[in-house]
Amino acid sequence: MISIIKGKYHWIIKQLGHVEISLVASAKGGTVRRFMDRSILRLNNRLELVFLYLGCFLLAGFFVYLKHQADDSEVLMSYIKFMIEKRRAFVLGFSAFVLVFLYQLVTKARTEVRCRVLVGDTLRQIKLRYLVECLILLGISFLLSTVVHLLLGFEIVDSFYVLLALAAYVLLSAAFLGAR
């Protein structure tokens, strides 16, 4: 079987004398595909970011769960009262891992950004693609965790605090992208 893409058509030769021709949407691929190809984030970086974002949101939900469990038991409340009172600080502290990861990502991407600028891409476009992609990943993670929290009957107020902190981290890392 031989597959050839030429122009607007995709030719598939399965057997000698048998040719299938199908129309291809675009020879270069779709807009989303081109956006993903030009991104400085690779698949493993995207997955790590999504898991870190989800970890922050789910940690906030875990503290809400602990609070609900501790409301029924005075003994449990005496042990974890400090954690429940300072739960936002714990979650924001954990979100610092995201900040460190984003900093490492920006630091590793400096050479790639310089090379892209040399071949005609602008720093503004690189930063915009990075910012949009990180915010899309953050939005997807937030929606997934919000669905989980709502299904379990948890409050989602702490998730909004985490969302704002993580969005600020993304904006901060985009500002440092390409800096010397």
Q: Using CA atoms, how far apart are residues 11 and 21, in angstroms rounded to an integer?
A: 5
Mean pLDDT of 1-27: 49
Residue 8 pLDDT greater than 90, yes or no: no
Q: What is the pLDDT of residue 33?
A: 64
Q: Using CA atoms, how far apart are residues 21 and 9, in angstroms rounded to an integer?
A: 7
Residue 9 has a CB neighbour count (10 Å cut-off) of 12
For 27, the token pair is 């020879």
In tens, the pLDDT along 83-123 reads 888 988 899 899 998 989 988 888 888 877 777 777 777 88
For 47, the token pair is 């997955």
> What's 69-117 look like in SS3?
HHHHCHHHHHHHHHHHHCHHHHHHHHHHHHHHHHHHHHHHCHHHHHHHH
The pTM assigned to this predicted structure is 0.76
Mean pLDDT of 46-59: 93
In tens, the pLDDT along 66-83 reads 888 888 888 888 888 888
Q: Find the distance separating the first CA and the last CA of the chain, reported in whole Å.
A: 50
Closest CA to 40 of 131, 176, 120, 101: 131
32-46, 66-80, 150-164 — which is least confidently predicted?
32-46
Q: What is the pLDDT of residue 31?
A: 65
Q: What is the pLDDT of residue 178?
A: 73
Reported as a pLDDT band with limits 50, 70 and 90, residue 11 is very low
